[in-house]
Amino acid sequence: MRRVLGNTILVAASALFAIALLEIALRFFPVAWAPPVQPPTATDPIQRYAPNTRYTWSLGWDFYAVVHGRTNAQGFVANYDYDAKATTPLVAVIGDSFVEALQVPFAESLTGRLQAAMGERGRAYAFAQSGSPLSQYIAYVEHAAATYRPQKVVIVVVENDFDESIYSHRKRDGIHHLYPRPDGGFELKLTALSHPGLAERVLRHSALALYLVRNVGVSVQWLRPNAAQAQDIPAAAADLAGIAEGEEVIAWFLAALPKAAVLPPRDIVIAVDAIRPQLYDTTARTAADRSTFGRLRTRLMRDARVQGFQVIDLSTAFLAAHLADRTPLEFPTDRHWNSRAHAIVAAAVIEALGGWPPFRR
């Protein structure tokens, strides 16, 4: 027993020593690290990052893509602060991690490219955070309208935006979700941010833990920022239930959007992401169009056009770019847009807003 106990202690000590060495070593590498979250409050219900904080984001176990950036004074990812007193024309860019775009330098993101295209003639402000769905987009639009009064609004819609808007299917807390009413319809409410436990707080500051989750791809639900466990849906009923719920969310979203923006639908651009990587294969693309996301994106674009919104189907622009030179629009290990894709989206938005004075040279 003494020999077994001694060997056990030796193995445990060796493992702890190896972990300590890895922890120290990884602190010299660009492990993906996002700024800490600033929780929402009753007086400031828009969750954001800690202001004026530098971050490093990287992709892959070998750090094949590394980006260094910062948050602005308002807690959003941008190279400049937002000015509520400025009077130059403003376009508010709303979205989740695709608009936040930690994977590319800010200047190469959709918002950064729109700002560069306008120069001093206008402003582009991004309101985005990873994990935000359509429900949170309405909260962002309301915040932007009340604080900065944009003349145009651009919203990027991606695959997970429909189901995750509903509280029971949420993937994170601290943002706004749709709570079904007993008599039908939804109520938009802020979901309180739960306080992490001691172990979670410690691991969030561990270079090794962050490397395994964000760079290697080890799935640890509770280590992801503000993660909330979604309810499981039986696989056989997932499509039918998801489509039905998604259509209800779409109806609510399109009705709430002009009111939140205090703008007519013609001043609001809805850009809908393509189904990737199925987009690049004819057979896979046909099947993807019949998927839950395929049917919901078609419904969203159809209803939005009928109601007078400007709609961008990014599958058209992305497919044309792919057929031209076969250059990928996402990263090898990450489905987010790369710099080239952001350039394509920015060009599509500028074309949609071509009559707006700030984009006229």
pLDDT at site 220: 62
The Cα-based distances of 269 to 74, 97, 143, 305 in angstroms read 24, 18, 17, 10
Query: What number is the average pLDDT over the span 217-242?
Result: 55
Q: What is the DSSP letter of 121?
A: G
Q: What is the DSSP letter of 93?
A: E
User: Is pLDDT of 75 > 80?
Assistant: yes
pLDDT at site 4: 82
Domain 31-359 has CATH 3.40.50.1110: yes
User: Is pLDDT of 262 > 70?
Assistant: yes
Q: What is the pTM assigned to this prediction?
A: 0.91
Q: Long-range contacts of range 63-66, CB-CB < 8 Å, 24 or more positions apart?
A: 63/29, 63/30, 63/215, 64/332, 65/103, 65/331, 66/30
> Per-residue pLDDT tens for 277-320?
999 998 999 989 889 999 999 999 999 999 999 999 999 999 99
Q: Quick one: what percent of the chain has pLDDT higher than 90?
A: 77
Radius of gyration of the chain (CA): 22
The Cα-based distances of 270 to 80, 199, 279, 302, 324 in angstroms read 25, 41, 20, 11, 25
Largest CA distance in the chain: 82
pLDDT at site 200: 80
User: Is pLDDT of 238 > 50?
Assistant: no
Nearest to 163 by CA among 214, 110, 238: 238
pLDDT band at 15 (very low <50, low <70, confident <90, very high): confident
Question: What's at 160, amino acid-wise?
Answer: N
Sign of the torsion formed by the C-alpha atoms of 203, 209, 214 and 218: negative
| Residue listed under structure tokens 């948050």 | 71
Q: Could you tell me the residue ranges of all domains in the chain?
A: 1-30, 31-359
pLDDT at site 241: 78
pLDDT band at 221 (very low <50, low <70, confident <90, very high): low
> Per-residue pLDDT tens for 87-117?
999 999 999 999 999 999 999 999 999 999 9
